[in-house]
Amino acid sequence: MSLIVQKFGGSSVRDAGRVMNVAGIITDTWKAGNRVVAVVSAQGDTTDDLIEKAREINPNPSRRENDMLLSAGEQISVALLAMAVEKLGCPAVSLLGWQAGFKTNSTYGNARIKTIETDRLQAELEKNNIVIVAGFQGVNKFDDVTTLGRGGSDTSAVALAAALSAKSCQIFTDVDGVYTGDPRIVKNAVKLPEISYDEMLELATLGAQVLHNRSVEMAKKYNVNLEVLSSLQRIPGTKVKENAGVEKMLIRGATRDNDVARISIVGVRDIPGVAFRIFSRLAAKKINVDIILQSVGRDGTKDISFTVARDHAAEAVAELNTLKEQLGATEIICDENVSKVSIVGAGMETHPGVASKMFEALFDAGINIQMISTSEIKISVLIDIKDSESALKAVHDAFID
């Protein structure tokens, strides 16, 4: 009998009607002769609401208590979904992360799954139960509840699919697949029938909101058959796999990410060790740096600019201010009015001219590029945030018609 893991996001279990709808999907899969493990997120905006509730009481709660609170959202969902399945006359059991064997490290709020001890899960599946597992949570070596970071239920589902050698892992959401661009902004975005793990990982990291990037990383590592599809329409979604689509598609998608800030350190000494000092300090503070640009030295000085996630900007600037004198910097500037627009596609590895086509599209739209970064399968530009939407449209339409 084959096993399918089906994951449902918060919007798919928003209210009683949606919970019953999900119960319909998983019981149909079960009745078709499959074993089913369902992974669910907290209903609707529950996680945000819980964060707000905490803030009302203590704006700076300990991470342990925060995880204790946030994990409650998924506890509600699993119980309600199990009740819905019972109502449809099928056997179900709900399990919290620790009951399902999710062992994590101790980084509260952003824990990593170390192993999944599947004995209990296997036993429940043997009893022919539909097993409903709380996403986004596990337990650490101190027996404390941990959470996996916002959007972490995708990762729970993929990890379970890997641990149980599932035939496939279906991620149900409120869109019907992965699109070439955000359909809310890019009107002629098209749905991709399939995409490679590497491309999906880039898209997820660069701002496409459909999958948690860690889940894609894990799917690639364990070769999990992943599919993104709608919980509201029963139509095929997007398959994420090792080798996708032989058809000639230069660009698989365009994204924008407004969660970025640019920091410039002006007039630092043009001597060895400056970049090392700056970036080792940021690394020690666990601040992730993305695009880096260093100017050519002139009169013994140079400028170094880089981007960070917006909520790390203030901390990065504070750290750099303590180094300012040592580096001889005249100024540290932080600009939060920036946006990163990217294109992704394995096709660009073998086709020259992709970058120039992207820059031409931006030029035609009158958009100035502040920074550029590339990898084998992506090109990103940093631009003024006011141009973010028009840049995304222009770039998307240059490659996808």
Please give the residue ranges that form the binding site for ligand ASP (CB under 6 A).
Answer: 9-10, 41-42, 47, 73, 135-136, 150-153
When the beta carbons of 138 and 152 are compared against ligand ASP, the nearer one is: 152
Residue type, 400: I
Site residues for Mg ion, 14-43, by CB under 5 A, read: 41
Q: Which stretch binds Mg ion (CB under 5 A): 2-10, 268-276, 280-288, 367-375?
A: 2-10
Interatomic CA distance for residues 224 and 215, integer angstroms? 10
Interatomic CA distance for residues 359 and 253, integer angstroms? 16
When the beta carbons of 13 and 395 are compared against ligand ASP, the nearer one is: 13
The option from ligand ASP, Mg ion, none interacting with 253 (CB < 5 to 8 A, set by class) reads: none
The answer to whether 276 and 269 are in contact (CB under 8 A) is: no
Q: How far is the CB of 350 from ligand ASP (least distance, A)?
A: 36
Q: What six digits make up the tokens of 191?
A: 């749905």
Q: How far is the CB of 148 from ligand ASP (least distance, A)?
A: 8
When the beta carbons of 152 and 347 are compared against ligand ASP, the nearer one is: 152
Q: How many CB atoms lie within 10 A of CB 265?
A: 25
Nearest-10 Cα torsion for 62, 66, 68, 71: -160
Note whether 46 binds Mg ion by CB under 5 A.
no
Assign 20 to helix, strand or coil. Answer: helix
Q: Which residues lie closer than 8 Å to 89 by C-beta, 6 or more apart? A: none
The answer to whether 212 and 152 are in contact (CB under 8 A) is: yes
The option from ligand ASP, Mg ion, none interacting with 152 (CB < 5 to 8 A, set by class) reads: ligand ASP
Alpha helices, H only, 88-196:
119-126, 153-163
The answer to whether 212 and 362 are in contact (CB under 8 A) is: no
Among 4, 7, 10, 218, binds Mg ion (CB under 5 A): 10
Note whether 213 binds Mg ion by CB under 5 A.
no
Q: How far is the CB of 217 from ligand ASP (least distance, A)?
A: 15
Q: How far is the CB of 9 from ligand ASP (least distance, A)?
A: 6
When the beta carbons of 150 and 281 are compared against ligand ASP, the nearer one is: 150
The answer to whether 193 and 228 are in contact (CB under 8 A) is: no
Q: Which residues bind Mg ion (CB under 5 A)?
A: 9-10, 41
